[in-house]
């Protein structure tokens, strides 16, 4: 991170403005879905992102020359937190937060002209081709190859856990263009049109019963050589740049604060079935979770301030990733258990339409709660598993 003292803003006034914008511009149907743990379609995300684009806020952290607003880290943090607190959908990150900054930092002028406008308008949907069956958190062990053939690269291999590849128009992908003694070398960052012949997308239905992710197969897929970002073999450098960006706000404190409010409502609703002793135990456990969340919010703010001042200890994003994902899992376990015997109920189809958390039927409420519980299992894995993050933290502190 670099110092970002430009574009000073009044945080209190800006947060008020964000809250009002969400109230005035988020579709009521989408708000209802988010507030009640219901399934969101691609169109829900696109409509919200395009509303943000019309305001000039969708790519707020991008430089103005590429269509952004030059937000500081602090302003971006305030924006994301307030949107989440007010039940806006998450911003799908693969375009605007991941490949977009890679392109305007390392891309050619032609690549910037071709791809950045579609990212900002949400007319082009991206996915990320990183993990493979035997190369997840050990990303440098990837084996998908790209062999040069004139003005093209011929890509063969497979990518795993590719979220929203079934929605995507484009993929930003890491491929091996050279076998080297050091596995971090010989990797190239490549942009791939998902309509290219030879690409097969196979759905993976995860533990929550929902189709989020996929396995993508490449069979002699011909990709123009002009789609290489940076120099051939620079992929590892670009991947680290992208992953640092991905993890910076992965603590997602706004969503957790809103979830804490929902947990408290659920506990009050079901507490009458508990004995005084059981209720006291639940309230004590909830107080501990609430304190942990307060500490996480403060820790995130401390790192934001450090990044604003140009001080990066190299572990901040990893620390937030570990603390945030593990707290999310603890919160969802507590929420599930607060439902009592109803906490065992889950049907994915009960999250499509209806009242969700506001339903009278406890098994419908349980579907919304248990979706959060089940989906939270993956938070400590994606973006680099927490075990890998702890290795990064220890290696940095002990070097």
Identify the domain containing residue 28 by its residue range.
Answer: 11-90
CA torsion sign, 285 to 286 to 292 to 295? negative
List, for the chain, all residue ranges whose pLDDT scores fall below the cut of 70: 1-7, 246-248
Same domain flag for 294 and 207: no
Tell me if 97 is assigned to some domain: no
Residue 43 lies in a domain: yes
Q: What is the pLDDT of residues 173-211, one digit of tens each?
A: 999 999 887 888 999 999 999 999 999 999 999 999 999
CA of residue 352 relative to chain centroid, distance: 22
Has 246 been annotated as catalytic? yes
Tokens 């533990």 -> residue:
207
Assess whether 44 and 68 both reside in one domain.
Answer: yes
Contacts of 327 (CB under 8 A, 6+ apart): 256, 289, 292, 293, 296
Looking at the fold, whether 357 and 304 belong to one and the same domain comes out as yes
DSSP 72-93: -HHHHHHHHHHHHHTTPPPPPH
Give yes or no: residues 317 and 346 share one domain: yes
The confidence score (pLDDT) of residue 246 equals: 67
Q: Is residue 198 part of a domain?
A: yes
pTM for the full predicted model: 0.91
CA–CA dist 169, 191 (Å, integer): 11
Q: Which residues of 90-120 are buried (b: 16+ CB within 10 A; e: fewer)?
A: ebbbbbbbbbbbbbbebbeeebeebbbeebb
- Examine the domain organization and report whether 389 and 274 are in the same domain: yes
Quick check: is 53 in a domain? yes
Q: How many independent structural domains does the chain possess?
A: 3
- Residues 258, 334 within the same domain: yes
Domain of residue 176, CATH code: 2.40.110.10
Q: In this structure, is residue 106 part of a structural domain?
A: no
The three-class DSSP label of residue 110 is helix
Closest CA to 249 of 152, 338, 325, 147: 325
Report the pLDDT value the prediction gives residue 5, as an integer from 0 to 100.
Answer: 42
Say which of 76, 164, 246, 300 is annotated catalytic. Answer: 246
**From start to end of 206-283, where are the E strands?**
211-224, 228-229
Tokens of 285: 């456990």
Tell which residue, 44, 185, 46, 195, has the closest CA to residue 122.
46
Q: What is the pLDDT of residue 309?
A: 87
CA distances from 229 to 105, 232, 324 (A): 10, 8, 31
In a domain, residue 293? The reply is yes
132 shares its domain with 233:
yes
**385 found inside a domain:** yes
- Dihedral, 75, 77, 79, 83 alpha carbons, nearest 10: -170
Is-contact 236 187, C-beta < 8 A?
yes
Say yes or no: 232 and 175 in one domain.
yes
CB 320 within 8 A of CB 303: yes
In this structure, are 224 and 276 located in the same domain?
no
* Nearest-5° Cα angle at 75, 74 to 78: 85
Is there a single domain that holds both residue 180 and residue 209? yes
- Report the C-alpha gap between 77 and 301 in whole angstroms: 9
Identify the domain boundary among 207, 238, 269.
238
As beta bridge partners, residue 33 has none
Beta-bridge mates of residue 147: 154
DSSP reduced 3-state for 253: helix
- Is residue 276 located within the same domain as residue 388? yes
- CATH number for the domain harbouring residue 29: 1.10.540.10
CATH number at residue 323: 1.20.140.10
b (16+ CB within 10 A) / e for 167-206: bbebbbbbbbbeeeeebeebbbbbbbebeeeebebeeeeb
Does 343 reside within a domain?
Answer: yes
Helical pair 73-85 and 276-308, crossing angle rounded to 10 deg: 150
The bridge status of strand 170-176 relative to strand 126-129 is parallel
**What span, in angstroms and rounded, lies between the C-alpha atoms of 357 and 369?**
8
| In a shared domain, residues 144 and 203 | yes
pLDDT at 7: 58
């Amino acid at each position: 991170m670099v110092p970002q003292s430009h574009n000073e803003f009044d945080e209190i006034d800006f947060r008020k403005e964000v809250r009002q914008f969400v109230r005035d511009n988020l579709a009521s149907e989408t708000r209802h879905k988010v507030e009640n743990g219901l399934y969101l379609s691609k169109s829900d995300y696109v409509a919200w992102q395009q509303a943000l684009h019309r305001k000039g806020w969708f790519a707020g952290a991008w430089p103005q020359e590429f269509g952004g607003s030059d937000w500081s880290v602090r302003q971006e943090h305030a924006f994301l937190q307030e949107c989440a607190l007010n039940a806006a959908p998450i911003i799908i990150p693969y375009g605007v937060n991941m490949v977009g900054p890679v392109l305007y930092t390392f891309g050619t002028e032609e690549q910037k002209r071709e791809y950045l406008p579609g990212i900002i308008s949400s007319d082009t949907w991206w996915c990320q081709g990183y993990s493979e069956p035997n190369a997840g958190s050990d990303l440098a062990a990837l084996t998908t190859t790209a062999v040069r053939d004139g003005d093209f690269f011929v890509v063969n291999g497979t990518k795993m856990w590719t979220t929203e590849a079934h929605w995507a128009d484009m993929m930003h992908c890491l491929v091996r263009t050279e076998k080297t003694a050091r596995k971090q070398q010989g990797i190239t960052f490549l942009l791939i049109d998902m309509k290219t012949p030879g690409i097969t997308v196979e759905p993976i239905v995860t533990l929550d019963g929902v189709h989020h992710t996929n396995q993508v197969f490449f069979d002699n897929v011909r990709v123009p050589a002009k789609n290489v970002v940076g120099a051939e073999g620079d992929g590892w450098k670009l991947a680290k740049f992208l992953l640092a960006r991905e993890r910076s706000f992965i603590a997602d404190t706004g969503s957790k604060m809103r979830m804490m409010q929902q947990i408290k409502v659920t506990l009050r609703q079901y507490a009458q079935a508990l004995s005084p002793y059981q209720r006291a135990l639940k309230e004590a456990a909830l107080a501990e979770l609430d304190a942990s969340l307060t500490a996480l919010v403060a820790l995130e703010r401390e790192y934001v301030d450090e990044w604003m001042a140009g001080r990066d200890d190299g572990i901040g994003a990893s620390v937030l990733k570990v603390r945030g994902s593990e707290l999310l899992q603890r919160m969802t376990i507590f929420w599930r258990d607060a439902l009592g015997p109803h906490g065992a109920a889950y049907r994915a189809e009960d999250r499509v339409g209806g009242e969700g958390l506001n339903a009278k039927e406890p098994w419908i409420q349980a579907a919304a709660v248990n979706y959060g519980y089940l989906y939270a299992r993956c938070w400590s894995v994606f973006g680099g598993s927490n075990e890998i993050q702890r290795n990064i933290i220890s290696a940095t502190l002990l070097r």
